[in-house]
Structure 1
Amino acid sequence: MTNLSLNPEDWIPHRAPFLLIDTLVSIEPGVRASAHWTLSGEEWFFAGHFPGRPTTPGVLMLEAVAQVGAVAVLSDERFAGRLPLFGGVENARFRRQVLPGDTLLLECEMTRLSARGGKGHGRASVNGQVAVEADLLFILADVQ
């Protein structure tokens, strides 16, 4: 598909300060998406995680990957306007620290998808080194 917006706010309901995707790189609706998240060091969580040794929390890296998965799902017109919610995380592995100044490449590919929800495999990497990878389960709720 061509002419898809690469602005994450056009696809998912997340907004600052919890929108963790800076720029979408690619979208294949209902299949996969990728994005970048550049950490300036000024993010709200670095002040307390950890003072003097700022490190990106692993759960926020998983959330960023999940947001990319949400783009992959919600860019499919069959699911547009639905609300993606976490259903679970399986096989999560944290492999390296992510520090201020790093740019994460976030990738998520759907492995199962239906009107009720699905599963995707995602990863976040820095300069080709995997920082986290996991299988993400989600449900699709109707917006009321």
Structure 2
Amino acid sequence: MEIKEILEHLPHRYPFLLVDRVVECVPGERIHAYKNVSINEPFFVGHFPHHPVMPGVLIMEALAQAAGILSFKTMGSKPDNNSVFYFVGIDGARFKKPVSAGDRVDLHVEIVRQMRGIWKYRAVAKVDGQVVAEAELMCAQRDVV
């Protein structure tokens, strides 16, 4: 999936779109996507000017966005104005190495289970094949009122 199709499967836009490309997507199972981290990212201005490091919370958000694409592909639908996926839980989050400007963060997410609008995923972020972050994520699909 290139950026045009990613934009069709995520409601996020600049500066909060954190998936640049999808390498593989097996609906109902797993996704492999990536985020290219540039020195031009707006968060580097304050995190940290003397040593630019991607905030861990944004690595988790990138994994959640990859999970969102996987979920929409699994359901055979696209985001609309009638419902939204909320990030409702992160368990066992671990940050193993910092992510810096110039890195490509590979986002690996697999569906653990889905029941009544609640999705659980196993998510791992890697740079150069080394794990930089991992967690179990939970999202809930809810109607917009």
**TM-score (norm. length: structure 1):** 0.91
| Residue identity opposite 1:119 in structure 2 | K
TM-aligned CA deviation for residue 80 of structure 1: 4.1
TM-aligned CA deviation for residue 143 of structure 1: 4.2
Give the 4+ runs in structure 1 shifted more than 4 A: none
Aligned equivalents of 2:111, 2:131: Cα separation in 1: 19
Per-residue CA deviations over 1:4-56 (Å, capped at 9, x if unaligned) read: x4431121111111000011111112321111101111000001001110000
> 2:75 is paired with a residue of what secondary structure?
coil
Number of aligned residue pairs: give it: 140
Aligned equivalents of 1:79, 1:73: Cα separation in 2: 9
Equivalent position of 2:47 in the other structure = 49
Whichever structure has more helix as a proportion of its residues is 2
Equivalent position of 2:96 in the other structure = 95
> 2:71 is paired with a residue of what secondary structure?
helix
Equivalent position of 1:66 in the other structure = 64
Equivalent position of 2:73 in the other structure = 75
Contact 2:8–2:78 at 8 Å: present in 1 too?
no
TM-aligned CA deviation for residue 114 of structure 1: 2.4
> 1:51 is paired with a residue of what secondary structure?
coil
TM-aligned CA deviation for residue 115 of structure 1: 3.6
Matched, 1:27 2:28: no
> 1:25 is paired with a residue of what secondary structure?
strand
**TM-score (norm. length: structure 2):** 0.90
TM-aligned CA deviation for residue 86 of structure 1: 0.6
Aligned equivalents of 2:69, 2:116: Cα separation in 1: 15
Aligned equivalents of 2:87, 2:120: Cα separation in 1: 10
- Unaligned 5+ segments in structure 2 are none
Aligned equivalents of 1:30, 1:84: Cα separation in 2: 17
| Residue identity opposite 2:60 in structure 1 | L
> 1:75 is paired with a residue of what secondary structure?
helix
Aligned equivalents of 1:93, 1:129: Cα separation in 2: 13
Contact 1:118–1:139 at 8 Å: present in 2 too?
yes
| Residue identity opposite 2:23 in structure 1 | V
TM-aligned CA deviation for residue 79 of structure 1: 5.6
Superposition RMSD in Å:
1.5
Contact 1:30–1:74 at 8 Å: present in 2 too?
no
After TM superposition, the structure 1 = structure 2 runs for residues 102-117 of structure 1, keeping only pairs within 5 Å, are 102-117=103-118
Contact 1:84–1:140 at 8 Å: present in 2 too?
yes
Aligned equivalents of 1:31, 1:83: Cα separation in 2: 21
